[in-house]
Structure 1
């Protein structure tokens, strides 16, 4: 039975205040039914059920004399369509009056700041008007934003304060056993132009509701066909988890709006800070989506590359080719916007070619490959011009030249050195470098290091041929970063061959061979049988393998990229299968249990993150450990809290207990669960590069 406040209507809506999810109402539009004598049907007297199907919400109420069936789908990227069907269960005719009642919230945030939105009656329903509020960290709104509810039958609306009532002008006459269907459309738009466009679309939906519902069903059946086509003996519970994964990704898909020029998948609608597009989140979600919705996957790729830095960029031309960390509805102040979440302090791990190539394989879109190839080459090259302090072809994580990376005095003024140059804030750059790795607080980036012979994490300047600072790096060549770059060379080689660029293909194969030799020579420790980051001095003449910082998920990336030789891979897999290292209740945490920095519930210091776990699984398969990989995937699915039941997919999981941690309904976890279902439980494959074996 739906909760009392939802009886007769659907929750919300949650609107997006440009960059933040905000509840407009508990249930904005609730159906009230009265009989010919004016007696109200109480939902408490009905047997009610609420069900979520892929792409559709359903409420059904069985009264003694009536059945009420409410169904909601999305008819467009701005409008939800509601179908209301009322059936007379008696053998006598009846007459009913229909009303829709609702209220709205008028404040937001923990401090209950007034939104000062207002209700207005319209000829076909009700409209919410908003006023301009530019609260950078909680609520961003303009007076062009509108929320409209429109009906397909004649209605009259009275609105006052925060409440309204919409009444059907004509009573509904139902013969014995007959049914009556009516439609309503709920639209949320950001601009006046959108409002006009959506008004026309909503009118068409109201006139062709059944067609809209069929189109929605066809669309979702197409998504789910990737699961249902499986004819193996995969347990039904695993299939349900795969369906949940697709639902999670598509629920978090957001269409173009504001400065987001193409659509994409946000990390989660369940967390206020996650309503933007991060680069490395996107690459994982693209690879997942490409299998069931390649068009949306390609759209997401373009959304990130819309803001690839160009040579004539007004803010950071020295970063030409770079992909920035994250983009939002509003650009940051450095680009004339008033957003606070847009971030250009760092990039993210180079997985773009992985995403593009997998999207190409699933879509077969050669024009897309031709479009993206030069952009990927520019991004690949950027790592070597801006993140390779000693110029040896092995990259380090770091940060951009950015105001946030300088020191300031108590008056907010820049602190300058003796030459008049801004003083670098090393801790800020190290923070950016950790963000650039994607592993925000991983032990390997601890400023203090670990042990008496560890100088800790230091910052170096990267300069161009003219001696200008073009970026910063930290003093370690990371094994995951360079494994990603090795894999990228494999993907770029494969793309070059597809496009007939044989010289490029040969170049990437040659570069990959040199990088493979370096990783296997300097980043692998024979005594512990694992890969680690390599600490370097500024000119690269001194190196220290950071075995002392313990084993982490970065150590199996050489297997995913196909860098390791078989003997090295055997040793790494041994640690992955060791119950004192990585084979825990939920296997493959980001930090080994025997690492003295292991903390099972502390973000990147111990939990299981599904992207890194998936890379580990695919790495095992690359070296013949298919049975072991399947064993670990089944263990993940069985022991991750709520995955096989009604629980949401979580950002990460406690490896010791299986407890779901941090954000709910997390997109890249969903993408990776789905991919492991497709490629391990129901099939046999990987997403890895095949250009260089």
Structure 2
């Protein structure tokens, strides 16, 4: 029997598109399709996105036999599996712990074994499982009911590990706690299952109740955005020095050094300190050169790529949303780290023409965009524009901090880069990118990336702004039904589900909408915000969207999409 036909989750958390987790936890419960059989797994997302992190496969049984015709429902804090009068319930009792209770049904937790993995008994009703591959230990505590551990031993490890939970005499109740060296809760008293769940529900209610009200048509998607932004956080551990909003606990289990800015902007109104931590996340790993890592997770920081310098723009936006970010001490910290990042680009990534370059599409955030089709490095107009904005930002912050020489330095640098940028990249009425290895301007493709100089419309002349606006509004090129296509829809390089070769992305939508609003094109900005959020009503909180249909594409539970959705409604659509 094909089990996948029997999963009946609610419209929100179905475990396939949206997993079950909680704020701060590396534990995740989700489904994977394997050989046409759908399985529910307990996963651990430590170690980044190189592995799905599957720990246990869940098999449910009644009367000694595995059952496949069960149903489940999943709220933001409680997963329930039912068959007849039997039910099994699960929730994350804290950041490190998963509580599971069952009555009228049994559950087998089948551990996904790797070399050297082992399990042993600590004391009565307690076991400790050691995962060598994950560098993780799990304390398994039987609170009530039956639990049998089947774990044959062979020289260096167990050959299999199964935890059989039964509810023949009384409901079973266990707790799994993950830890690196020592568990935190060895001596804690076990809360009643439902009292413990009520405490977690209250934590979530506090989070979601702090969100601003939205128009009624967005209410259901607000609930999803609330949950996704909450549950995609992981706790400080290892390389992560602060609570970090991962992009997704499906498979994008890192935090990248521009993704964090969009979470920070969203959180600025309601959780300013958490927002500030997201913004400053990469300062902890900033290289001596000033470069931020491409991404970090609990295990490592990757310096394979930089990311676009949007930090000046992002902090400006945060200050617009909350005056707390104008605090002098915060401004000093921001000035220090952002000035170093800016100097990195202007010192170590300055190429021909005296203009900065990206060494890969990944550095721009437009990974496979058409500007990188014929090789790298590439000088792009958006990079210069973002750096000019960032220099102007630094000059303003230096002024607030009464650092007059620094203020003048950044003004001069911004003026100089603006002149060079326009002289070399404005060609025949439009901005062009330049291929360094081919020593030529890039003519193929029609990328929305070339229009990002709208971010510094205040430094462009009337003709430049007019031409860029015309391109933005062109419904045959970029202006799709549900947002701005990243490659022109009439380009031969446009691709359905082509990542940065067509689909609409939340971060670029917010950047363009904010830039248009700031330059006085408020109706255009509001129209784009309305159409993009309409697309989200169709495609959910996906990684990106089809500009013509609104279909959600790639990862369906993305935190920066949820963050941008809420920001757009709060700032442009109320």
What TM-score, normalized by structure 2, do the two folds share? 0.79
Residues 357 and 495 of structure 1 are in contact (CA less than 8 Å); yes or no, is this contact kept in structure 2?
Answer: no
Task: Check whether the contact 1:620–1:626 (CA below 8 A) recurs between aligned residues.
Answer: yes
Selected match of 1:568 from 464, 469, 472: 464
1:78 and 2:96 aligned:
yes
Distance 1:104 1:40 in 2: 16
1:57 aligned onto 2:78: yes
Candidates 348, 358, 361, aligned match of 1:397: 358
Task: Report what 2:407 is aligned to.
Answer: 505
Q: Where in structure 2 are the equivalents of 1:488-503 lying within 5 Å?
A: 488-503=390-405
- Residue number in structure 1 paired with 2:176: 186
Partner of 2:54: 23
Equivalent residues in 2 for 1:406-485, closer than 5 Å: 433-447=360-374, 457=375, 474=377, 476-485=378-387
The residue aligned with 2:137 is: 146
Match of residue 298, structure 1, among 276, 286, 290: 276
Residue of structure 2 equivalent to 1:679: 571
Q: 1:205 to 1:592 in 2, by over 3 A?
A: farther
Per-residue CA deviations over 1:441-464 (Å, capped at 9, x if unaligned) read: 2211222xxxxxxxxx56xxxxxx
1:287 and 2:316 are equivalent in the alignment? no
Q: Deviations over 1:373-430 (max 9, x none)?
A: 21221111111110113584x32223xxxxxxxxxxxxxxxxxxxxxxxxxxxxxxxx
Deviations 1:111-163, CA, capped at 9 Å, x for gaps: xxx4564455565755451342xxxxxxx423xx222343555x563211333
CA 1:632/1:205 → structure 2, altered by over 3 Å: closer, same or farther? farther
2-structure distance, mates of 1:183, 1:289: 36
Give 1:308 deviation, angstroms: 0.8
Aligned residue for 2:43? 14
SS in structure 2 at match of 1:101: strand
The 1:298/1:78 distance shift into structure 2, 3 A limit, reads farther
Question: CA separation of 1:648/1:681 partners in 2, compared to 1, >3 Å: closer, same or farther?
Answer: same
The residue aligned with 1:556 is 451
Give the drift of 1:588. Answer: 0.6
Stretches of structure 2 that go unaligned for 5 or more consecutive residues are 10-19, 21-28, 30-39, 152-160
The alignment covers a number of residue pairs equal to 529
Q: Which runs of structure 2 are paired with 1:108-119 in the superposition (5 Å)? A: 114=114, 117-119=117-119
Instruction: Indicate the RMSD between aligned Cα atoms, in angstroms.
Output: 3.9
C-alpha displacement at 1:592, in angstroms?
Answer: 1.3
Maintained 8 Å contact 2:126/2:142: no
Change (3 A) 1:277 1:44: closer
Structure-2 separation of matches of 1:223 and 1:571: 42
Contact 1:287/1:359 (<8 A) preserved = yes
Q: Could you say what secondary structure the match of 2:509 adopts? A: helix
Tell me what 1:91 maps to.
none
8 Å CA contact 1:262–1:302 kept in 2: the answer is: no
| CA apart distance, 1:167 | 6.0
Partner of 1:270: 250
CA–CA separation in structure 2 for the residues paired with 1:205 and 1:303: 35
* Aligned-pair CA distance for 1:170: 7.8
Could you say which residue in structure 2 is the equivalent of 1:243?
A: 223
Pair 1:102-2:108 in alignment: yes
Structure-1-length-normalised TM-score: 0.66
State the alpha-carbon separation in 1 of the partners of residues 96 and 258 from structure 2: 27
Distance 2:97 2:203 in 1: 18
Q: Deviations over 1:533-570 (max 9, x none)?
A: 246799xxxx9654x23432223322223343454323
Structure 2: distance between partners of 1:5 and 1:600 = 29
Quickly say closer, same or farther: Cα 1:58–1:17, change in 2 above 3 A. Answer: closer
Match of 1:157 among 147, 170, 173: 147
Structure label with greater radius of gyration: 1
Does structure 1 residue 261 correspond to structure 2 residue 163?
no
CA–CA separation in structure 1 for the residues paired with 2:405 and 2:270: 34
What's 1:589 paired with?
A: 485
* Alpha-carbon shift at residue 633 of structure 1 (Å): 2.6
Does residue 635 of the first structure (1) align with residue 531 of the second (2)? yes
Deviations along 1:459-515, one digit per CA (max 9) or x if unpaired, are xxxxxxxxxxxxxxx3x5311101111221233234324433333233323433333
CA distance in 2, matches of 1:98, 1:446: 59
**Separation (CA, whole Å) in 2 of partners of 1:141 and 1:628:** 49
CA contact (8 A) 2:472 2:479 kept: yes
Q: Could you tell me how far 1:663 is from its partner in structure 2? A: 2.4
SS at match of 1:378: helix
Pick closer, same or farther for the CA change 1:215–1:366 going to 2, 3 Å: farther
CA distance in 1, matches of 2:540, 2:392: 35
